Structure 1
Amino acid sequence: MSTIHGKAEGTYLGDAPKPQYHEGTGQQHQMDPQPVDDHFHDGSEYKPAGKLQGKKAIITGGDSGIGRAVALLFGKNTSYFTERRIES
């Protein structure tokens, strides 16, 4: 197990990596390799069970990553899907 010592001084001991800082979020179209978010890890296509039929949800971050995968899978499960982009 890694431990971090001297956090106030910015020194890290042991095998704990230094923190990484990124400006904003990444762009999914720039990822290599491209993520696959409409199939399962084994390559089979998702077949909805209908458990979400008629349900409503608020999905944040639906433009990339996990939010996009959730939005796509939710969209395959429902007959009603709306989108609203709110800039922060």
Structure 2
Amino acid sequence: MAVVAEDLTIREIEPRETPLGPVLYVKVQAAGYRPLSWREVWEAFAARYPDRWAFEMFPPAAELVDGKAVYHLFVLPPDFEPGALNIKAA
């Protein structure tokens, strides 16, 4: 696994109940809110939560919050089984 950039932070915001079960809401961002690549966000997530599943939501336009480069992830419990959500299962 690649080294995570030193200017990245992951903040644990709060646990939430969802239709997929309990999740931990976290925010990933870089110093100065620089935009991150998908890979940088994934590497930060994987370093902090190895062997866990998470998802990122893409809202409809009316719900969009897009002021800064902050990435919102929802980390699933360690025992979560993705079933058909696992694209490698097809």
Q: TM class, shorter-chain normalised?
A: under 0.3
TM-score normalized by the length of structure 1: 0.25
Higher gyration radius (CA):
1
TM-score normalized by the length of structure 2: 0.25
| Structure having the larger proportion of residues in strand | 2
